[in-house]
Structure 1
Amino acid sequence: MYQPLADRIRPKSLDDVVGQRQLLGEGGLLRRIIDSGNIPNMIFYGPSGIGKTTVASIIARQTSRKLYHLNATTASISDIKSIVDELDTFLAPNGALVYLDEIQYFNKKQQQSLLEFIEDGRITLVASTTENPYFYIYNAILSRCTVFEFLPVEAEEMVRAVERGFQIACEGRSITIAPETAEEIAHSCGGDVRKAMNAVELLVNSTADGETITPESAAQVAQRSNMRYDRDGDSHYDILSAFQKSIRGSDPDAGLHYLARLLEAGDMISAARRMLVIASEDIGLAYPQCAAIVKACVDSAFQLGLPEARIPLAQAVILMATAPKSNSAICAIDAAIADIRQNGPGDIPSSLKDCHYGGAKKLGRGQTYMYSHDYPNHWVKQQFLPDHLADHRYYEYGPNKTEQAARAYWEKTKGSQP
């Protein structure tokens, strides 16, 4: 029976696990827990192919528990109940460890139904998810589990697994592995051990005895597999967050890096939308023309299409990253919204209400309004906010040259009138 290389190479002990040194290395918290034999309910969070299932299998083996492997996309509560029915029998004499893969696909009712089984200790739950558990797993489960984050495997660690994969896959074959081939795969698989093993297996199966597997052929197999990206997953929002924070932090190189990742993943729309936000949120009134320039660059990008679209988008990123920064606009509107929610909107002053209809004068609408353009410097002192908010202020001038110039102008203008 065919067994994928990724399964054949699966480690049997913690020392053989590739990566996750922060959890499984000497003194790592998860390692200490496993070595103690007192296994709590746990959630393993991280991308696929980095050892979550492997570690669960090792836990079951080291604690002499029967491992039940379920996938939330196909499993149901009846499967959990069937496992409970086997407890205290010769089938599971030391208790059961239930590994529930992709727990985020269990709905709220299904997740809550697990509580009665994990609270009384009849089963030990180890759940895994590729999505942020604090977004997708309900609090009742989270509060009873310890969350461990698994990270993509570093290329230096991955080389070890790739070399071992070639050794196993080439048993009984006369195939030569050229230098740097393992490094090429290790750097191209995006930290995913399973993906690396699939590449190794494909290369070996497509190579005849007496031939050599080269880095060039490895690059063809890997292609763009190092781009770990899901438009609806955590990596999407993590990249966009890093993209905006890099520009806000005035680092053009990092901004271009994250733009390149978005474009390589084919997600120009998300990049463009975020850039339009950044122009007003982070550059704002320090360089008001920036919003118009970024909009022009985005429009040009969509008219051009990729690959040429990368040029105006890069221009906009560099412009924003090197421009002066101000968040006074977002702070001002957020303060206004918070004030309305806390204190209510209030009635609009009668002087500001619409008076362009018959009977408006009888209602006292617009009678005391003063037309600003009839006064020096096109300004006259009057109340615009509702009475109960009349003294509230939302906008604070930023320290940049543009806003300070505006501040000086209006202080001079408003101070010239009694």
Structure 2
Amino acid sequence: MNTPLADALRPKSLDEVVGQRHLLGEGMVLRRLIESGHIPNLIFYGPSGVGKTTVARIIAASTGKLLRRLNGTTCGTADLKEVFDQRDTLDGRGGILLYLDEIQYLNKKQQQTLLESIEDGSVTLIASTTENPYFYVYGAILSRCTVFEFRAVEPAETARAVVRAFGKAEELFDSRYSLEDGVAEYIASACGGDVRKALNAVEALCAASGEQRVTLDAARQVSQRSAMRYDRDGDAHYDILSAFQKSMRGSDENAALHYLARLLEAGDLLSACRRLLVCAAEDVGLAWPQILPVVKAAVDSALQLGLPEARIPLADAVILVATAPKSNTGICAIDAALEDVREGRGGEVPDHLRDGHYGGAQKLGHASGYRYPHDFGGWVAQQYLPDPLREARYYRFGENKTEQAALEFRRRQRAGRD
């Protein structure tokens, strides 16, 4: 068989597309656009193997436009101009539909060239990308396109595609395949929402099995680690890190452990350690200040041990952070202070706080009138902030036990001394 199984099974209609019901289900906007025949400039964004190219091909087949395909990894400005020049040919009189895969790899000059040709409507752009277009695509192009996000396909949807793939393979290979219980479901789960990867696994199993029974063990061998969808520079990286910290912040230790496992399985030990330290300071913070050295010790141990043993202290630290009391008063306080500084709200340091350790300081009035708190039992009323901010209040005590104890100490300390 020369044609890959994934291509042999490529859907010819929207109803045959696996998954993406949020885009292609009855009444959904993208489906209605396609069925109307009036196709605007589109950008399809999502992971590999979820139907972006397939849907673009279905759209192209349903229009009377001249279809041209380019890939952002290989095309240059000359390739784009060659496509656009075809508007003046007999074939291009009805308009051109340009399918541009991996648009994120075009540089700014190439994207500007593209922009010039999609503005007048003679070229309709359908672009696809595995990266977030709001980070990688020129803003002027984005403003002229409608972005649709494709999602990883659910295992139940993928399993149906796997069963169909085995049936198609029987025709192509002229063989009969007997599946051990759980084979289709395992491949569907292990592919990580990538239908193309699942179909490639089916093709490999069929080629290797001959007339034999397709076993679950063989399915595991061809699908190993394929469920991991992770790119240290891509959306998956930041999405997992975001979910990791939000789960700890939300006191859900089970979810936090799940996202830690995904980070560690991808070998991203440093990101897990960094986010743990951030969460301990930002989200537990002053509710339990002692957590910082504890988490730091766990991180140091993990980095010294390396994987796989690093998972042990990190799991302990994640559970500790997730189950600890929470307070964000520290980060709120410093962010409020930074806002004043960045907005130019400040003023001169009060004279009594200025440096007085040099000749002439007294003559200038620097450090004059400073009251040494220890001479007054640890606290004495005096101004510390610059005049324009003398009433500013950045830190507000949290409702947790530790900060309330600190607030009560302050009240006792200052009682009758104002």
TM-score range, shorter chain: over 0.9
Q: Aligned equivalents of 2:65 and 2:216: distance in 1?
A: 43
Q: In 2, are the aligned partners of 1:256 and 1:314 still within 8 Å (CA)?
A: yes
Q: In 2, are the aligned partners of 1:57 and 1:67 still within 8 Å (CA)?
A: no
Q: Aligned equivalents of 1:77 and 1:337: distance in 2?
A: 45
Structure 2 unmatched runs, 5+: none
Q: Name the aligned partner's letter for residue 331 of structure 1.
A: C
Residue-pair matches, total: 416
Q: In 1, are the aligned partners of 2:80 and 2:113 still within 8 Å (CA)?
A: no
Structure 1 unmatched runs, 5+: none
More divergent stretch after superposition (79-88 vs 196-205): 79-88
More divergent stretch after superposition (355-364 vs 324-333): 355-364
Summarize the alignment of residues 4-403 of structure 1 with structure 2, pairs less than 5 Å apart.
4-87=4-87, 89-171=89-171, 172-208=174-210, 210-376=211-377, 378-403=378-403
Q: In 1, are the aligned partners of 2:346 and 2:388 still within 8 Å (CA)?
A: no
**1:362 alignment partner, SS class:** helix
The corresponding residue for 1:413 is 413
Q: Aligned equivalents of 1:294 and 1:369: distance in 2?
A: 39
Q: Aligned equivalents of 2:84 and 2:268: distance in 1?
A: 46
Q: Aligned equivalents of 1:95 and 1:159: distance in 2?
A: 39
How far off its partner does 1:5 sit?
1.7
More divergent stretch after superposition (198-207 vs 325-334): 198-207
Deviations 1:26-65 (A, max 9, x none): 1121111101100010110100111100000000111233
More divergent stretch after superposition (311-320 vs 356-365): 356-365
TM-score by length of 1: 0.96
More divergent stretch after superposition (60-69 vs 115-124): 60-69
How far off its partner does 1:88 sit?
5.2
Q: Aligned equivalents of 1:46 and 1:379: distance in 2?
A: 59
**1:161 alignment partner, SS class:** helix
More divergent stretch after superposition (77-86 vs 381-390): 77-86
Q: In 2, are the aligned partners of 1:43 and 1:129 still within 8 Å (CA)?
A: yes
Deviations 1:49-100 (A, max 9, x none): 1110000000011123332111111112322222222235343453221111
Q: Aligned equivalents of 2:159 and 2:69: distance in 1?
A: 29
**1:379 alignment partner, SS class:** coil
More divergent stretch after superposition (336-345 vs 212-221): 336-345
Q: In 1, are the aligned partners of 2:97 and 2:125 still within 8 Å (CA)?
A: yes
How far off its partner does 1:361 sit?
2.4
How far off its partner does 1:7 sit?
1.5
Q: In 2, are the aligned partners of 1:301 and 1:312 still within 8 Å (CA)?
A: yes
Q: Aligned equivalents of 2:134 and 2:92: distance in 1?
A: 32
More divergent stretch after superposition (292-301 vs 61-70): 61-70
Q: In 1, are the aligned partners of 2:354 and 2:367 still within 8 Å (CA)?
A: yes
**1:144 alignment partner, SS class:** coil
More divergent stretch after superposition (335-344 vs 46-55): 335-344
Q: In 2, are the aligned partners of 1:175 and 1:211 still within 8 Å (CA)?
A: yes
How far off its partner does 1:249 sit?
0.9
Q: In 2, are the aligned partners of 1:189 and 1:225 still within 8 Å (CA)?
A: yes
How far off its partner does 1:216 sit?
1.2
Q: Aligned equivalents of 1:237 and 1:29: distance in 2?
A: 28
Q: Name the aligned partner's letter for residue 140 of structure 1.
A: A
Q: In 1, are the aligned partners of 2:190 and 2:226 still within 8 Å (CA)?
A: yes
Q: Aligned equivalents of 2:245 and 2:262: distance in 1?
A: 13
Superposed CA RMSD in Å reads 1.5
How far off its partner does 1:357 sit?
2.7
